[in-house]
Chain A
């Protein structure tokens, strides 16, 4: 491709130059305002990292300064020995993975029905899905706990999964995307003798991959970090997830050993932050996506 803008630049008017300078000045002011705010925002993370590398005595003596005297990494292995973080990690992966896998199946089927099929009471059923988004989990967690207890599922991994399998929010998001697929595509497939399920699989799903990824990322962040529900339904290490393990560590230390606790915090937050750094574009797009229909 030849650069068409090149000759135009040669004729850049003084007005344009003035504008550019103005722009640059404005940017300078913005940076002056934004840098301190950004530093303030980042400081808790910096504090976690610095503290995880300090010794206990350094914490309680402010005169020791902000930076650790010597970088000490032994807090990390020490944390791993006081609590079974390996089991927590495995449970977190199993629970989050199962939730998202099950959700993708339920929301795909339901969203297709709402987007492309005609059936009686469609609006009523759609309202049932949408209302779920508004209902706070705190209005249901007591009775959900009682239900799971009756089923004998308390303190098992399924208890951490089943309440989240249906997602009104995901169904809504995916339905919007399905509706944007041109109907000529599915009509053509129909004429070729494809049934609805075949059309869904071969035509629709490949076209809405960005929405599936966006929903997947949001869902993973929510369920990976979930604290309240696992707190209620787990009472042994074999089924606890990372956030619960961290909460227990905090309780056990009761503020006495911040270095170990911050190392544990780092271990818990690192996986998602790492993914965020690597797939930043994808994460940002997903969360942005939630606001624009």
Chain B
């Protein structure tokens, strides 16, 4: 079995491509082809189920700029993401710090905060519809008993989106908490010890020691948070269908409405392409700002 190095290298490359092939096939078919096709469709008039498509040029994009609903939906999406992600991370951080160390009942607390992650979004959404129900819903009953007027929650265009946001913080904080707990375990305890002996208070230690030390995990959680924030589609579909008066309509739900309810695949593709740019831009922005400040222990 003598073979020259060039041939060996070629064989290794062939094997590598054979091993990548199954993944590449499905990535091509269901990730990259749909994106290319979606961009292509966004310049056309395409109706669901109609094989004929017509070239429109940039018409869908000018329509987008003049579409008041699009801007409203974009605003709702940004509001949702920019509030729920930081709030969830802040709660997760406080919980993780509180649960760090040898606390009695740790496993029980951890399960209590983590179990919502296991629940299907549709089930979570439905339960919260009930919790928010006007009149007999427990949240309103509790508010009434202390004399606070019922805001009407999901039926009120002012409160519906915040109501969904509260639920999504409840649903996701436990996941972030677990990731941050794992990161906290790696922070050397003598750092805290030394700071404590120097009389540095708990809050100061959190800001100046803990947060910089776990910054890679915080960065990771921010990205995950942005990627998870699309789940809002499920909540909107189950809880409000975008209403009242489109106050809970978000970009992902609007794409679905335009594509499947109005069957306008062309314009929906324009929205989907916009979503892609929006997300990649947001992640690029996070990478350029937070990513640069991440502190890796023992590296760099």
Contacts and interface: CB of A to CB of B under 8 A. Distances in A.
B203 interface: no
Contacts of B114: 284, 287
Contacts of B136: 59-62
A246 B238 CA distance: 10
Contacts of A243: 120-123
Given A107-B23, A134-B280, A255-B129, A119 B16 contact: yes
Chain A residues touching B, range: 35 or more
B128 interface: yes
A262 B13 contact: no
A251 B40 CA distance: 36
A110 B118 CA distance: 29
B269 A142 contact: yes
Nearest to B279: A136
B131 to A, nearest CB: 6
A144 B178 contact: no
Contacts of A290: 179, 224
A231 B237 contact: yes
A138 B277 CA distance: 12
Nearest to A110: B23
A47 B275 contact: no
B119 A225 contact: yes
Nearest to A253: B126
Contact of B186 (A41, A171, A255, A292): A292
A220 to B, nearest CB: 10
Nearest to A163: B30
Interface in B252-292: 252, 255-256, 259-260, 265, 268-269, 272-273, 275-276, 279-280, 283
Contacts of A246: 120, 122-123, 126
Given A59-B136, A136-B276, A292 B182 contact: yes
Interface in A101-151: 105-107, 109-110, 112-113, 117-120, 125, 128-129, 132-147, 149
A105 B221 CA distance: 28
A207 B269 CA distance: 44
Contact of A162 (B30, B117, B251): B30
A227 B276 contact: no
A217 B106 CA distance: 22
B27 A128 contact: yes
Given A41-B116, A142-B38, A142-B259, A117 B12 contact: yes
Contacts of A284: 110, 114, 178
Interface stretch (B58-66, B68-76, B226-234): B226-234
Interface string A237-270: 0000011101100100001001001100100110
B98 interface: yes
Interface in B36-53: 37-38, 41, 48-49
B220 interface: yes
A291 B180 CA distance: 8
B15 A117 contact: yes
A250 B238 contact: yes
A106 B12 CA distance: 18
B111 A291 contact: no
Contact of B126 (A109, A133, A250): A250
Nearest to B234: A227
Per DSSP, chain A at the interface is helix
B291 to A, nearest CB: 13
Interface residues of B, number: 97
B5 to A, nearest CB: 12
B126 A138 contact: no
Contacts of B174: 41
A34 interface: yes
B13 A144 contact: no
Nearest to A193: B1
Nearest to A142: B259
Contact of B118 (A60, A120, A132, A269): A269
Given A134-B283, A138-B233, A146-B37, A27 B22 contact: no
B133 interface: yes
A147 B136 CA distance: 46
Interface of B: 9, 12-13, 15-17, 19-20, 22-27, 29-35, 37-38, 41, 48-49, 95, 98-99, 103-105, 107-124, 126-131, 133, 135-136, 138, 141, 170, 174-175, 178-183, 186, 217, 220-221, 224, 227, 230, 233-234, 237-238, 251-252, 255-256, 259-260, 265, 268-269, 272-273, 275-276, 279-280, 283
Given A136-B276, A272-B119, 9 more contacts: A27-B103, A41-B112, A134-B279, A147-B37, A162-B30, A167-B23, A258-B130, A284-B178, A287-B117
Closest 3 CB pairs of A and B: A291-B179, A166-B26, A143-B34
Interface of A: 27, 30-31, 33-34, 37-38, 41-42, 44-45, 47-48, 51, 59-62, 66, 105-107, 109-110, 112-113, 117-120, 125, 128-129, 132-147, 149, 162-163, 165-168, 171, 196, 221, 224-225, 227-228, 231-232, 242-244, 246-247, 250, 255, 258, 261-262, 265, 268-269, 272-273, 276-277, 280, 283-284, 287-292
